Structure 1
Amino acid sequence: MKIKILFVCHGNICRSPMAEFVMKKLVRDLPAESLADVEFEIASAATSTEEIGNPVYPPARRMLASHGIDCSGKTARQMTVRDYEYYDYIVLMDRNNLRNLRWILPPELQKDPNHKISLLMDWVGKSRDVADPWYTGDFQATWDDVNEGCKAMLAQILR
């Protein structure tokens, strides 16, 4: 069974790539028996076009590297309707990302008829956004939220 996860934020240079690479590491670190019949495909994208083609923002890259995670080669891309159709989980970092989907998805998919869209912190039972470190400058707080959210999501998926 293949589980496909797409993490989404505004520019795809801070929060969503952090979540993408944290989740990839969490999956890699699982004992083989936990993944007996499960394969993961994990990616990230933006709701905007502002950063398309740009690499992960240097402070986010440094935060990942400080935890032994390499994100080299990752460049920002925008989410598409095809992504909604392809991925099993579309995990957004904040409510603004949710609103911005209206520019990407046709009206019939904006209502999420397939129940694919969630906010990352919903997975830990916290009804709040992952703060955008582009504005806050607090990459540690973002790391903490992303790490907590990804661990909770992975645990729930594997149940």
Structure 2
Amino acid sequence: MIRVLFICHGNICRSPMAEFVLKDMVKKRGLEDEFYIESAATSTEEIWHGVGNPVYPPARAKLREHGIGTSDNELGVSEKRARQTVCGDYEKFDYIIGMDSANMRNMQRIYGGDPENKVYKMLDFAGRSADVADPWYTGNFDATWNDVVDGCNGLISKVIGATT
């Protein structure tokens, strides 16, 4: 089983988009039994009294626009709640993927480093060293969608190539 954790600041936009895009890609390839995919935050800003906020409505709308989170391809979008990553996630996952440079710094702090080389930046899988566009600030969910799809395509190609 290949275990993937996507990380962003609040776990309501970018990382859940990546989680559900990859789940959709895996499902379309018939590989659901070979992957375990989650997302989390580096902060607690979207978690109140122990309960995380749901996926941000414009992010959900962008997923639905592409057939994800719909009644026939729900994939858990409606149940998703923000959670903060914890040190124990480092042992649980094979790939821990941050959306931007700030996420990468925070992940290093939370995990106490990366001795097993499990931590990656999302767009490294797309051959780019850029950050995934943050729609919370830009309002541009199309740019985020494109970045997430590029990163997930690169990740699945790397993983499938490594397992075949």
Match of 1:138 in 2: 140
Match of 2:100 in 1: 94
Match of 2:151 in 1: 149
Q: Are positions 1:81 and 2:83 aligned together?
A: no
Q: Are positions 1:42 and 2:37 aligned together?
A: yes
Residue 105 of structure 1 deviates from its aligned partner by: 2.2
Give the ranges of 4+ consecutive aligned residues of structure 1 lying more than 6 Å apart after TM superposition: none
**Distance in structure 2 (CA, Å) of the matches to 1:55 and 1:43:** 14
Number of positions where the alignment pairs a residue of Structure 1 with one of Structure 2: 150
Residue 103 of structure 1 deviates from its aligned partner by: 4.2
Change (3 A) 1:49 1:103: farther
How does 1:16-95 map onto structure 2 within 5 Å? 16-30=15-29, 32=30, 35=31, 39-52=34-47, 53-70=52-69, 71-95=77-101
Task: State the superposition RMSD in angstroms.
Answer: 1.3
**TM-score normalised over the length of structure 1:** 0.91
**TM-score normalised over the length of structure 2:** 0.88
Residue 22 of structure 1 deviates from its aligned partner by: 0.1
Q: Are positions 1:12 and 2:40 aligned together?
A: no
Structure 2 gap ranges (5+): 70-76
**Distance in structure 2 (CA, Å) of the matches to 1:84 and 1:105:** 6
Structure 1 gap ranges (5+): none
**Distance in structure 2 (CA, Å) of the matches to 1:103 and 1:78:** 13
Residue 98 of structure 1 deviates from its aligned partner by: 1.0
